[in-house]
């Protein structure tokens, strides 16, 4: 495994001719990703659930980067109608898209259902990003060095997909269903890579994970022991969001980052460090699981990839 210990956001190539969409861009990893790309001249569309927070984040970024090109658009990934509205608006106002960073997520809340009746973590972390990618794929195909970067987690390696109970109606575990959503991200990123390559598409599909990073993900959703563990006990061990965002920034911008690759921190246990290529669980690349998840996702979202 080749390490890139010296790689940092300062080594991102010039992005002044490229347009990015970053989901969950108003805080944490999304904000760090937006800031790093904007510093290199990229036009970043902040896709945010809370417009007021998105505008505040954009104002702060613009104050420090007077030449940056930023815009904020509302997107609730847990609501497929919101995903379609976002995609329609983007297609109306932009002729192409160069990079989509599927970053936003929720972690370990009490069992909650989305607007369409899906378990909220599977809906927001996977189904929303699946639909968004499919609806924007033609814009990406016309982009310059186009990429889709999907953010997963090391937790995908200890997960399984509950195909017989995706909504947790029979049995629900907050972390078990979070892990399921992160495995779904990994399966989707790999299966998208396989299908794009088979079709001869110029779009690359890459994956990344941030290691153990301090963000609102650990404090904004979890309850009970999960909140105590991640929000308080382990928080001193976490790295900053600017460091945790490096694997997804590498996947989004590095010239040698290839489709199908998975990037994470190079430190012990992949908890922290500089970006390096890491392994996907065999489950994530299993053909039958990829096919089955793809078919289920198309059915639940109504989105089919051209």
Catalytic residue numbers, as ranges: 178
CB 122 within 8 A of CB 180: yes
- The set of residues, in sequence order, having a beta carbon less than 8 Å from that of 306 and lying 6+ positions away, is 137, 138
Selection from 142, 106, 111, 145 nearest residue 15 by Cα: 145
User: Which residues are paired to 264 by β-bridges?
Assistant: 276
CB 80 within 8 A of CB 127: yes
| 64: exposed, middle or buried (Cβ count in 10 Å: 0-12, 13-18, 19+) | exposed
Sheet holding 204-208, edge to edge: 69-74, 43-48, 19-23, 99-102, 147-151, 204-208, 262-265, 275-277
CB 5 within 8 A of CB 273: yes
- The set of residues, in sequence order, having a beta carbon less than 8 Å from that of 159 and lying 6+ positions away, is 176, 179, 180, 182, 183, 283
């Amino acid at each position: 495994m080749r390490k890139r210990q010296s790689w940092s956001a300062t080594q991102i190539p010039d992005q002044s001719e490229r347009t990015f969409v970053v989901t969950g861009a108003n805080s944490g990893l999304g904000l760090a990703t937006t800031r790093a790309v904007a510093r290199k001249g990229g036009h970043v569309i902040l896709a945010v659930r809370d417009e007021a927070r998105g505008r505040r984040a954009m104002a702060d970024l613009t104050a420090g980067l007077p030449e940056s090109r930023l815009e904020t658009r509302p997107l609730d990934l847990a609501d497929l109608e919101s995903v379609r509205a976002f995609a329609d608006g983007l297609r109306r106002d932009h002729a192409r898209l160069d990079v989509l960073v599927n970053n936003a997520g929720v972690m370990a809340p009490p069992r909650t259902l989305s607007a369409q009746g899906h378990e909220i973590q599977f809906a927001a972390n996977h189904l929303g990003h699946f639909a968004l990618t499919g609806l924007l794929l033609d814009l990406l195909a016309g982009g310059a060095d186009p990429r889709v970067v999907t953010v997963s987690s090391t937790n995908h390696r200890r997960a399984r997909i509950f195909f017989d109970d995706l909504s947790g109606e029979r049995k629900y575990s907050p972390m078990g269903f979070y892990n399921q959503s992160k495995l779904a991200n990994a399966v989707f990123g790999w299966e998208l890579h396989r299908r794009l390559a088979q079709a001869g598409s110029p779009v690359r599909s890459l994956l990344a994970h941030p290691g153990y990073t301090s963000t609102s993900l650990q404090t904004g959703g979890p309850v009970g022991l999960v909140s105590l563990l991640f929000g308080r006990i382990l928080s001193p061990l976490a790295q900053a969001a600017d460091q945790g965002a490096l694997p997804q920034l590498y996947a989004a911008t590095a010239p040698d980052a290839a489709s199908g690759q998975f990037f994470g921190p190079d430190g012990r246990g992949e908890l922290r460090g500089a970006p390096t290529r890491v392994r996907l669980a065999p489950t994530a690349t299993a053909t039958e699981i990829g096919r089955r998840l793809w078919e289920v996702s198309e059915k639940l979202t109504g989105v089919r990839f051209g």
